[in-house]
Amino acid sequence: MPNKPVSNDEMEKRLGMVDHQPSRARRVVLRNNGIKERYYAIDDRGNITHNNAQLTREAIKNLCDTEFTEENIELLSCGTSSPDNLLPSHASMVHGLLNTQSIELHSASGVCCSGMSALKYGFLSIKSGSTNNAICTGSERPSTWMQSQKYEEEVHSLKKLEEIPVIGFQKDFLRWMLSDGAGAFLLEDQPRGEISLRIDWMQAYSYAHELEACMYAGGEKLEDGSLKPWTDYTPKEWLDESIFSLKQDVKLLDKHVVEKAIVSLKDAVIKHKLELDDVAYFLPHISSFYFEDKLNDEMVKQEVAIPKEKWFTNLENVGNIGSASIYLMIDELKNSGRLKKGEKILALVPESGRFSYFHILLTVC
């Protein structure tokens, strides 16, 4: 986690006010999401302290020790929704910062599920015998994407048109939702240390064939629900309409994200013949506490309920870090001293990009 935690009252100072006006959405969004602290790769003077690749490098550095060094890495698999560059790939940029040799690289794109896609690639590589180990990561640095200066041209254009110079809620909403950070896992074919976590299975789902995009960037949604890509806009439009800003269709999110999460969870539970009573901890990656009761109610409705006392999240204290969130949740639980060998951990990772989901079952060993 970069720098010191940022409180709700400090957020607008760190990200800046669009058109020097306080956000109309900030208090409403923060009241609903229940997040009290988050982290930014920006210091209190507005200076950028880390890019995404550097955050990922720090997570890997903290993971390695005298027994396993960067020189031992065989596969580097990295997931993110906020890479520093369109090209080269995120994994390539991270590898460039490591003290290692020539290794296999894999970059997973997307939103929150990109970190789990990176993990599954490493999992399958070891399971197939292709490699003996893999470093898998999830990382995000949306803070600099959300700084007020990124919206100034759009607001200026609205003033010219004599419209109210306020950026749309679908953009402003996400400025108060997202945090910076990175997580890294070491996967091997044998347990290491006093406590290890075995991946029993990972199951992924997509509903893009049924639903239109909900969270997107580098384009604009048209009336028919399709996305017009940034390459089809002029450079002037990129600025005037803040085409590269993150946007979220909150109505679509509220209508589908929870229901599809539990439809997919139920399918995974049935497919892998999981007895829910055997689950000791349930780790749902929720972007906001607004969804906590909705998720629980849907689990009860679809008959895959897990008692709330088994739920674990650190959203309140670290914020929503997209693809890194589940890494940091699992890491915090693993190092809490609470785990006992044989216990099972079920994690759920939703992605509102176009409604994708990952479910993973771990066993303490």
- Count of CA atoms in the C-beta half-sphere (13 A) of 101: 5
Strands 133-140 and 75-80 come out as parallel
CA angle 31/357/120 to nearest 5° reads 125
Strands 215-216 and 247-248 come out as antiparallel
CB atoms within 10 A of CB 261: 27
**pLDDT value for 166:** 44
How far is it, in rounded angstroms, from Cα 308 to Cα 33? 18
How far is it, in rounded angstroms, from Cα 306 to Cα 315? 19
How far, in Å, are 61, 73, 102 from residue 99 at the CA level?
A: 10, 10, 10
- Does the pLDDT value for residue 157 go beyond 70? no
Token digits of residue 139: 């990382």
**pLDDT value for 46:** 87
Least confident of 46-55, 234-243, 268-277: 234-243
Which pLDDT tens digit goes with each residue over 103-148?
Answer: 999 999 999 999 999 999 999 999 999 999 999 999 999 999 989 8
- Does the pLDDT value for residue 160 go beyond 60? no
Band of the pLDDT at 162, cuts 50, 70, 90?
A: low
Exposed, middle or buried by CB within 10 Å (0-12, 13-18, 19+), for 343?
middle
The contacts of residue 335 (CB under 8 Å, 6+ apart) are: none
Q: Where are the beta strands (DSSP E) in the chain?
A: 6-7, 37-38, 75-80, 104-108, 133-140, 181-188, 197-206, 215-216, 219-221, 227-229, 247-248, 279-284, 344-351, 356-364
Mean pLDDT of 214-224: 95
Band of the pLDDT at 153, cuts 50, 70, 90?
A: confident
Closest by CA position to 76, among listed 58, 54, 98: 98
Band of the pLDDT at 156, cuts 50, 70, 90?
A: low
**pLDDT value for 152:** 78
- Does the pLDDT value for residue 202 go beyond 90? yes
How far is it, in rounded angstroms, from Cα 31 to Cα 37? 13
How far is it, in rounded angstroms, from Cα 230 to Cα 60? 33
Cis bond before residue 88 (omega within 30° of 0): yes
Decide: helix, strand or coil at residue 355: coil
**pLDDT value for 165:** 42
- Does the pLDDT value for residue 13 go beyond 80? yes
Token digits of residue 214: 């909900």
How far is it, in rounded angstroms, from Cα 365 to Cα 340? 8
Token digits of residue 179: 């945090």
DSSP 134: E
Decide: helix, strand or coil at residue 280: strand
Exposed, middle or buried by CB within 10 Å (0-12, 13-18, 19+), for 333?
buried
One-character DSSP codes across 178-242: B--EEEEEEEESS--SS--EEEEEEEEEE-TTTS--SEE-SEEE-TTS-EEEGGGS-HHHHHHTT
How far is it, in rounded angstroms, from Cα 89 to Cα 80? 10
Mean pLDDT of 215-226: 95
Closest by CA position to 140, among listed 287, 288, 321, 352: 321
Find the Cα–Cα–Cα–Cα dihedral 93, 98, 99, 105, rounded to 10°. Answer: -70
Strands 104-108 and 75-80 come out as parallel
The average confidence (pLDDT) of the chain is 94
- Does the pLDDT value for residue 168 go beyond 70? no
How far is it, in rounded angstroms, from Cα 330 to Cα 319? 15
Domains of the chain from N-terminus onward: 6-144+176-188 (3.40.47.10), 197-211+248-364 (3.40.47.10)
